[in-house]
Structure 1
Amino acid sequence: MDETENGNLSSDYIAWTIVANVLAKQMNMAGPSAAYNGQAPLSEAQMKRIHDYFFGRLHGGFQIAELAATLGMSRTSFFKRFGRTARVTPNQYLQILRVEKAKILLRNENLTLIEIAFACGYADQSHLARFFKRYVRMSPGRYRSKMREEDVA
């Protein structure tokens, strides 16, 4: 290093190195951030991306590794943070979205239950009915009747 007339570059370099080391130690003493160690919930923007990802896959399966990679995190970190945020597993979240779509489609009297089941990604009407009862606590047919009664009233 060249030394200048007004100062000693090597002493400036040493001073800045000491400052950098002290700051680095201070940062490490605080421990990793909650977002880095998988303890923080997912952000609204991340949940929107997840929602859009699942909504685009109502008719098929999904890969946790693929979804985690789109968010730039590991499968384990994604699974922990998703559970902390949504309070359900990714598969349960997908089923909830399917049932929510079914609830909307059940308002259309022209669609049969089998058509609605297929539109929501279910293999058949009984598959739709099983999940629908689990999440809504009534059959799709009963839900449709109830919505019809509410629309008339």
Structure 2
Amino acid sequence: MLQPVAADDRTVATLVTRALAVLDHDPDGARLCLDRLASLFADRQNEPAAIATPSQPRGGLTSWQLRRVTEHVEVSIAGPIRVETLAALVGLSSGRFTDAFKVSTGETPHAYIVERRVRLAQRLMLETDEPLCQIACTCGFSDQAHLTRLFGRAVGQTPMRWRKAARR
């Protein structure tokens, strides 16, 4: 825990300004500024400083990084999406990106992409009369068998059975 320091208006203003400046790209740095600020006020009130809980898990992606990656996945869903490409979008190594993505979303980038492809396939099965082989290609699966295998794992039934049941 940080030691309380004497607070003056200039110190408070400096800490708030720094926290705001780094909030989007360095949440840990912003948290340090806010923890320091809390310790200033704790000293004034003679109470222990409360540690703020971070708005996102430690080690995860920042909000702009997660937004950039998920937007890229959505617009690139029909083609191959490589982890290296996603990592480069946010300036991280592939390994660091994979770890941070999992902290932020609770799943690996691959699992997230498969889930988005399956959801798109479900929507297309409901909204169009396209054959499953065409939907599979539109959603980025290599073929209908690939769609069927991953769809079955995610949904619990084949695409054809799901489509028939959902249309009733």
Which TM-score band applies after superposition, normalised by the shorter structure?
A: 0.5 to 0.7
Partner of 1:105: 124
1:74 has 2:93 as partner: yes
1:135 aligns with 2:154: yes
The Cα shift of 1:65 comes to 2.9
Q: Is the 8 A contact 2:102 2:108 kept in 1?
A: yes
Overall identity of the aligned pairs, in %: 30
Task: Work out whether residues 83 and 94 of structure 2, in 8 Å CA contact, stay in contact via their aligned partners in 1.
Answer: yes
Task: Give runs of aligned pairs for residues 4-153 of structure 1, distance below 5 A.
Answer: 35=28, 39-149=58-168
CA 1:63–1:128 in 2, change beyond 3 Å: closer, same or farther?
A: closer
Question: TM-score, structure 1 length as denominator?
Answer: 0.66
Query: Which one has the largest radius of gyration?
Result: 1
- Pairwise CA distance, 1:116: 0.9
Counterpart secondary structure, 1:107: helix
Residue deviations 1:31-50, cap 9 Å, x none? xx8758x9432233322211
Contact 1:64 1:75 in 2 (8 A): yes
- 1:130 Cα deviation after fit: 0.5
* Structure 2 gap segments, 5+ residues each: 1-25, 30-56
1:66 CA displacement? 2.8
Q: CA RMSD in A?
A: 2.3
Following TM superposition, the consecutive aligned residue runs of length 4 or more in structure 1 with deviations greater than 6 angstroms are none
SS at match of 1:128: helix
Q: Distance in 2 between matches of 1:63 and 1:111?
A: 27
Counterpart residue identity of residue 76, structure 1: G
